[in-house]
C-alpha cells in the first residue's frame, strides 16, 4: 500500500515538473520569436516593457502589447490591422493593459491613442 502512495506522489511531482517545463518552453518560444523578428526591435520593446512583464502577460494581451511596442503609439483600429483581430477586441485588450498600468491612453477628438507607460516619465509620452 505504501509503495502505491509513493508511486502516486512521484507521478504527481513529475507531472508538476513537466507542466513547469512546458510553461518555460512556451516563454522561451516567445522570446525566440521576438528576437527573430528584429533584434533591434526587441531592445526597444524591452526598454518599454521589460521581458518578464511581457512573458507574464497572457498570450492575447502579449500580442497586443508587442504590436503597440512596434508601432510606438496607435489606436485600437491600427493595432487590429496588425494583429488581424477585431477592433473591439483590441480596444478591450488595450483598455485592460491601461488598467494594469502598462499603457497610457489619450483621447484626441473621437479617437483614443495608446502608448507604453514608461517608468520614470512624469508627463505623457506624446507631445501632440
Interatomic CA distance for residues 127 and 76, integer angstroms: 19
Is 127 contained in some domain?
Answer: no
Whole domain around residue 32: which residue ranges? 1-37
Locate 15 and state its grid cell.
507531472
Q: How many other C-beta atoms lie within 10 A of the C-beta of residue 69?
A: 20
The confidence score (pLDDT) of residue 69 equals 85
The confidence score (pLDDT) of residue 84 equals 94
Locate 49 and state its grid cell.
516593457
119: helix, coil or strand?
coil
Q: 45 and 31, same structural domain? A: no
Residue 40 banded pLDDT, cuts 50, 70, 90: low
Q: Are 61 and 54 in contact (CB under 8 A)?
A: no
Q: 60 and 19, same structural domain? A: no
Span 68-114, pLDDT tens digits: 988 889 999 999 999 999 999 999 999 999 998 889 999 999 999 99
Q: 48 and 108, same structural domain? A: yes
Span 10-20, pLDDT tens digits: 888 888 888 88
The confidence score (pLDDT) of residue 37 equals 58
Number of domains in the chain: 2
The confidence score (pLDDT) of residue 31 equals 63
Residue 118 banded pLDDT, cuts 50, 70, 90: low
Q: Are 106 and 112 in contact (CB under 8 A)?
A: yes
C-alpha dist (Å) from residue 9 to 6, 14, 23, 40, 92: 5, 9, 21, 46, 42
Q: Is the pLDDT of residue 67 over 80?
A: yes
Q: Is the pLDDT of residue 56 over 70?
A: yes
Amino acid at each position: 500500500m505504501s509503495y502505491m502512495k509513493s508511486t502516486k506522489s512521484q507521478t504527481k511531482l513529475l507531472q508538476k515538473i513537466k507542466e513547469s517545463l512546458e510553461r518555460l518552453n512556451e516563454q522561451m518560444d516567445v522570446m525566440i520569436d521576438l528576437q527573430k523578428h528584429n533584434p533591434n526591435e526587441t531592445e526597444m520593446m524591452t526598454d518599454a516593457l521589460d521581458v518578464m512583464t511581457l512573458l507574464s502577460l497572457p498570450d492575447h494581451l502579449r500580442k497586443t502589447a508587442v504590436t503597440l511596442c512596434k508601432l510606438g503609439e496607435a489606436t485600437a483600429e491600427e493595432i487590429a490591422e496588425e494583429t488581424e483581430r477585431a477592433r473591439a477586441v483590441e480596444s478591450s485588450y488595450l483598455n485592460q493593459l491601461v488598467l494594469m498600468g502598462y499603457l497610457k491612453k489619450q483621447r484626441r477628438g473621437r479617437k483614443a491613442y495608446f502608448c507604453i507607460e514608461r517608468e520614470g516619465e512624469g508627463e505623457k509620452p506624446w507631445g501632440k
